[in-house]
Structure 1
């Protein structure tokens, strides 16, 4: 990364001190404080650290594994330097999804379709993602929406905010709305491993204000660390999901391991069984955009190989968000949305809005 024009020897020396803390040996390496982690990430994003320093920091931090207060500090950086989105005064509180930015490669994504059904039911949704990036270089949210006919690339943040407040859907696209964070992508490619900032991405939302935050995870230790981090960050309503490829998509091939954490209360485990609700089946494999787009349009009308998974996901999230009073009611509402093609109607409305915005 080129050095910032305002970088000083003092700032580079300060980063070196922080690097020493995470890069020392087994017996002397120690975690950063929340403030130090915030400071370190800000120095990297703002060009006050050399490429060598950034690479060393990211790999050393990965090897030692980030602690909750360090992840909280990184999210503090994102909250301060990144885009900010707020709800309209009369708007229901949104659901904000935190999932891996490097996309999907094995299973067909459901979250764009779930978002459309939720919006059709009056539930606002905030998504965030980037362009194709290491380590998976999987298909992205932007590409999926584009192939549905909704091109959300290149929108200024004020247009995203207006669309969110009027139609209920926002996609924060990192290259457009947070180029500082995008500057670290090439380092991730060089390392060939996800650095701790990838963990922070799962715990950050650009939405400021009251919301339900949903974060995907793969391994149990990651989930418990997420609970502690999100508690430090003051998140008051959180759901963690052992989703497909670490996403927030609920599987239908197995029991769904989720948990809910409200305010200062301990996390409450929720095991959901798609088999008990007529949604059990194989998780559809990812093949290519063309096949997915055909399946997606069919699913929005309640047909095809993604329909059962979409009903399950939309129904669960309608319940999680409080739109429906129970899981059974959520699934019934989701089925109605699919049979009436309400998600497809919402998609068409968003396409018209995007055309009117131009750019």
Structure 2
């Protein structure tokens, strides 16, 4: 048993009147001790559930990110003037709505905007469809690549994927606790804004509850990160919904505001204003999803194509490739119908095999 870890556990698990938040350094220490299994299983389980009940602070999440930076992998910088997009969707899969993020990543890469994704396999508590499985079904298997090979693919195609079970195996044991506890620990929230890239990055993070968005902003401000887009997205992802107005937070400056926080501009986008039906595409079988995605890549009109255009148009505009949403949507449609995105998928697949 680790007495050091026990003291950290006592701080967060002592209740409303006698408990205390961890400092950033203490949170980093606790995270490293859990990842390295220097704490006992009883201590780790108690810490994860106590921390969830207490709710993490920006300083604690910043410390967790510090630990990931120290122990985890990073793709190295490439020669690109604009920030690389990091789509943080490692959560625990999708169960209700059809995911479109791999298509969005292909679209951006085909437009010259590099993208990095990260995540793992089917995780508790939802045990939904993970993005890595969608990529596999499209002919792109990230799971067997070394980090060095992923770097090569990233440099050649503009698309990278950090597959945590292989590239960051220290995290594997932590997620075993998620099923046993029946709840996501704050580490799962932290991973949404984790940046496994050593260069200039623009972090895209999805959220469900407004306090989470504020937690992201304040945490990244402590780390000096100012390039952030937050999306109240589908199932906690950074995918824009079609059944309601999309609530988005964007940064317009690379400087912190007078309070030392990230200055966020609120954006509300209504799908109806752009001619889209107000309905999310439900998730059927994985086979049906892949068939629908392949239809999108081949430029075929469908409900999922509307989701692809809605999201693609936004991100083409947000990355500065297009001047506004309408131009972005038109550009996305042009790229899908001209086979440019399909060609990017083929290029990606061939580079993985070479």
Report the TM-score range of the alignment, normalised by the length of the smaller protein.
over 0.9
The number of equivalent residue pairs is: 346
Deviations 1:194-213 (A, max 9, x none): 00101111110101221211
**Aligned residue in 2 for 1:319:** 317
SS of corresponding position for 1:205: coil
Q: Is the 8 A contact 1:97 1:248 kept in 2?
A: yes
Q: Which runs of 4+ in 1 moved over 3 A?
A: none
- Kept in 2: contact 1:250–1:256 (CA 8 A): yes
User: Deviations along 1:294-345, whole A, 9 cap, x unmatched?
Assistant: 1001112232221011011111001111111222221121111111121111
The answer for the alignment partner of 1:77 in structure 2 is 67
2:248 is equivalent to residue 289 of structure 1: no
Residues 1:37 and 2:34 are matched in the alignment:
no
Distance 1:342 1:112 in 2: 15
Q: Offset of 1:100 from its aligned partner? A: 4.2
Asked if 1:340 is matched to 2:338, the reply is yes
Say whether the 8 Å CA contact 1:91–1:165 is kept in structure 2. no
Maintained 8 Å contact 2:90/2:118: no
For 1:109 and 1:17, how far apart are their aligned partners in 2?
Answer: 42
Instruction: State whether residues 259 and 269 of structure 1, in contact with CA within 8 Å, keep that contact through their aligned partners in structure 2.
Output: yes
Q: Is the 8 A contact 2:85 2:203 kept in 1?
A: yes
Correspondence for 1:4: none
Q: Any gaps of 5 or more consecutive residues in structure 1?
A: 1-8
Answering whether residue 96 of structure 2 is matched by residue 106 of structure 1, we say yes
Name the TM-score, length of structure 2 as normaliser. 0.95
Q: Within 5 Å, give how 1:1-359 maps onto structure 2.
A: 12-90=2-80, 92-261=82-251, 262=253, 263-265=255-257, 266-303=263-300, 304-356=302-354
Between the aligned partners of 1:36 and 1:314, the Cα distance in structure 2 is 40
Post-superposition Cα deviations, 1:106-165, rounded to whole Å, max 9, x if no partner, equal 100010011111111111111011111111111111100111111111100011111111
Asked if the contact 2:9/2:43 (under 8 Å) is kept, the reply is yes
Cα deviation digits, residues 262-306 of structure 1 (max 9, x gap):
431421101112211122331111111100011001112232221
Tell me if the contact between 2:120 and 2:130 (Cα under 8 Å) persists in the aligned partners. yes
Q: CA deviation at 1:91?
A: 6.0
Whole-Å separation in 2 of the counterparts to 1:226 and 1:144? 27
Contact 1:100 1:246 in 2 (8 A): no
Contact 2:11–2:21 under 8 Å retained in 1: yes
Cα-to-partner distance string for 1:158-198 (whole Å, 9 max, x where unaligned): 11111111101111111010000112011111111000101
Distance (Å, rounded) in 2 between the aligned partners of 1:111 and 1:91: 23
The answer to whether the Cα contact below 8 Å between 1:260 and 1:267 also exists between their aligned partners in 2 is: yes
The CA deviation at 1:92 is: 4.1
Q: Using the alignment, how far apart are the partners of 1:101 and 1:291 within structure 2? A: 22
Offset of residue 251 of structure 1: 1.0
Work out whether residues 110 and 310 of structure 1, in 8 Å CA contact, stay in contact via their aligned partners in 2.
yes
Contact 1:160 1:171 in 2 (8 A): yes
- Partners of 1:66 and 1:154 in 2: CA distance: 34
Q: CA RMSD in A?
A: 1.2
- Report the secondary structure of 2:299's partner residue: coil
Tell me, which stretches of 5 or more residues in structure 2 are unaligned? 258-262
Deviation readout 1:3-32 (Å, 9 max, x if unpaired)? xxxxxx7xx111111011011022011110
